[in-house]
């Protein structure tokens, strides 16, 4: 395996080592770390092992190791060269943007509009026009200009209120950014993975082809790992893991259940189940691909690594299902 820019790691008991390869990273992970139960350590250990087996890109695994060591304060401090600083900057190893909402400006134009609207709405006709008896109106030559002024003021009140609502909507919308979109989509796929986790055993039980049944069971185990990785991504952005109802996955899994009921015992059942499973895979590939791109844009290196690994597994599963469909399942359905 290739070599990387060396990282000097100093363990708790004072022992140090230079790490510049996946093999050395694996050895370093066996050393004395402050917290081997942390998400970053577990993630690094998983990726390094996957890289050794050819299931993960070595660059991704080594970067996960570097991040884990940095988080636990094991990387020996030293002044980097200007070249390394430039390379790190270009590679995007900078602090990710804050996920906290930006503070409101001290001067809020909405407040002034709201206050004006409130004051004008509370104004009573006699405050603005005055009480004039019908007898005195005639003597004073009173006209209805005052009432027209009152109408104008009321119209101004309504206009101010509407403007305030528009400003409020604009202000609320302007606070939404890519980080909010990332968080919302993360909740979407988290819900989807939980739903898939509950659906796969039913699909495995219904499958007639033993290889298809085994594929569903294998992916059930992978999906558990996908849920864990998503929870680690939530941790990266400082958010509590939570799902948001995903209408797309609800529809896809519903179609799968309908196939099970409608084609029960039929030769075409497996072909239908496999098609439903691939619909799920294609949805997941789309979601994970988008999240990975956004995470890269936001500078969330650790999230990129997690999403990259899951994306690779989803593509691998989709390819395996395609091969199974073309080699056996579709043939059996057509022959019936």
> Backbone dihedral region of 133: left (phi > 0), alpha (psi from -120 to 50 degrees) or beta?
beta
Q: How far apart are CA 76 and CA 269, in angstroms?
A: 59
Phi and psi at residue 10, to the nearest 5°: -115, 115
8 Å CB contact between 284 and 199: no
Q: Both 221 and 195 in a single domain?
A: yes
pLDDT over 70 (residue 112): no
Q: Both 153 and 204 in a single domain?
A: no
Helix or strand run (H / E) with residue 248: helix 247-262
The least confident of 101-105, 171-175, 230-234, 314-318 is 101-105
Length of the chain in terms of residues written = 336
Cα of first residue to Cα of last residue in the chain, in angstroms, is 50
The least confident of 63-72, 150-159, 201-210 is 150-159
Q: Which of 255, 253, 305 is nearest to 284 (CA)?
A: 253
From 62, 91, 120, the end of a domain falls on 91
Residue 103 inside a domain? The answer is no
For the chain, what is the domain count?
3
pLDDT over 60 (residue 78): no
Q: What is the pLDDT of residue 163?
A: 66
Q: How far apart are CA 66 and CA 78, in angstroms?
A: 15
Q: How far apart are CA 205 and CA 212, in angstroms?
A: 10
Helix or strand run (H / E) with residue 19: strand 16-19
Residue 295 inside a domain? The answer is yes
Q: How far apart are CA 220 and CA 309, in angstroms?
A: 16
Q: Both 217 and 317 in a single domain?
A: yes
Q: Both 44 and 64 in a single domain?
A: yes
Q: Both 182 and 299 in a single domain?
A: yes
Mean pLDDT, range 233-250, rounded to an integer: 92
Q: Both 217 and 277 in a single domain?
A: yes
Q: Both 218 and 322 in a single domain?
A: yes
pLDDT band at 162 (very low <50, low <70, confident <90, very high): low
Residue 327 domain boundaries? 178-335
Q: Which one has a higher pLDDT value, 119 or 276?
A: 276
């Amino acid at each position: 395996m290739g070599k990387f820019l060396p990282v000097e790691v100093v363990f708790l008991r004072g022992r140090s080592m230079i790490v510049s390869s996946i093999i050395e990273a694996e050895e370093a992970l066996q050393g004395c770390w402050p917290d081997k139960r942390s998400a970053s350590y577990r993630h690094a250990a998983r990726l390094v092992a996957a890289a050794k087996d050819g299931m993960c890109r070595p660059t991704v695994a080594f970067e996960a190791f570097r991040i884990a060591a940095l988080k636990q304060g094991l990387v020996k401090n030293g002044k980097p060269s200007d070249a390394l600083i430039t390379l790190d900057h270009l590679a995007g190893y900078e602090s990710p943007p804050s996920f906290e909402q930006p503070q409101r400006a001290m001067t809020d134009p909405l407040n002034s509009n709201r206050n004006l609207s409130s004051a004008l709405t509370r104004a009573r006709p006699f405050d603005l026009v005055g009480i004039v008896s019908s007898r005195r109106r005639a003597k004073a030559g009173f006209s209805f200009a005052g009432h027209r002024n009152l109408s104008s003021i009321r119209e101004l009140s309504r206009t101010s209120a509407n403007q305030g609502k528009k400003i409020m909507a604009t202000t609320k919308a302007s606070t939404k950014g890519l980080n909010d979109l990332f968080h919302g989509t993360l909740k979407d796929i988290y819900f989807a993975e939980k739903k898939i986790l509950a659906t796969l055993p039913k699909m495995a039980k219904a499958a007639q082809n033993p290889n298809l049944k085994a594929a569903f069971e294998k992916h059930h185990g992978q999906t558990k790992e996908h849920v864990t990785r998503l929870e680690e991504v939530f941790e990266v952005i400082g958010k509590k893991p939570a799902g948001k109802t995903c209408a797309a996955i609800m529809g896809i899994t519903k179609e799968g259940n309908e196939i099970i009921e409608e084609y029960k015992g039929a030769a075409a059942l497996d072909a239908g189940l496999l098609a439903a499973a691939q619909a799920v895979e294609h949805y997941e590939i789309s979601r994970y691909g988008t999240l990975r791109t956004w995470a890269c844009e936001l500078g969330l290196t650790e999230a990129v690594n997690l999403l990259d690994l899951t994306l690779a597994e989803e593509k691998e599963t989709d390819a395996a299902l395609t091969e199974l469909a073309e080699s056996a399942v579709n043939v059996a359905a057509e022959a019936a």
